[in-house]
């Protein structure tokens, strides 16, 4: 899956923030280039992230897998419901942004 490779590359070579609270804080400063939300992110957190992202004009990519799967993609032994890409490194975020909502 190409989206998984892009996310892995962003985590390995760029700068990312993990967790819905960190993502919401970063959106208020307008730093993220892209926000990624797992399919089972709690509705209240996903809604708050979507609203903040819309106000900051940051695209939100709906990751097709669960938070456990997103954690695995990021190389973490815990679930990740949301993450923000601050600096993409070598990752091609344009590919993910095509499937994102603004």
Q: What is the pLDDT of residues 43-59, one digit of tens each?
A: 999 999 999 999 999 99
**Does a structural domain hold residue 18?**
yes
What is the Cβ-side half-sphere exposure of residue 40, based on CA atoms within 13 angstroms?
A: 9
pLDDT of residue 95: 80
Q: Could you tell me the CA-to-CA distances from 9 to 4, 73, 76 in Å, in that order?
A: 9, 10, 14
pLDDT of residue 20: 92
Question: CATH no. for residue 17?
Answer: 3.30.1330.30
Q: How many domains does the chain have?
A: 1
pLDDT of residue 102: 63
**Does a structural domain hold residue 75?**
yes
**Does a structural domain hold residue 102?**
no
User: What is the rounded CA–CA span in Å between residue 56 and residue 21?
Assistant: 16
pTM over 0.85? The answer is: yes
User: What is the rounded CA–CA span in Å between residue 64 and residue 29?
Assistant: 27
Whole domain around residue 32: which residue ranges? Answer: 2-97
Residue ranges in the chain whose pLDDT is less than 50: none
**Does a structural domain hold residue 72?**
yes
Say what angle helices 20-29 and 43-56 make with each other, to 10 degrees.
Answer: 20
Q: What is the dihedral of CA 77, 43, 52, 37, to 10 degrees?
A: 40
């Amino acid at each position: 899956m190409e989206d998984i490779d892009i996310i892995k590359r962003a985590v390995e070579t760029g700068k990312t923030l993990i967790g819905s609270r960190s993502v919401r804080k970063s959106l208020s400063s307008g730093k993220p280039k892209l926000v990624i939300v797992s399919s089972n992110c709690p509705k209240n957190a996903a809604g708050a992230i979507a609203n903040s992202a819309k106000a900051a004009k940051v695209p939100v990519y709906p990751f097709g897998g669960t938070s456990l799967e997103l954690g695995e993609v990021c190389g973490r032994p815990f679930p990740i419901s949301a993450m923000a890409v601050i600096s993409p490194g070598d990752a091609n975020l344009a590919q993910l942004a095509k499937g994102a909502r603004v």
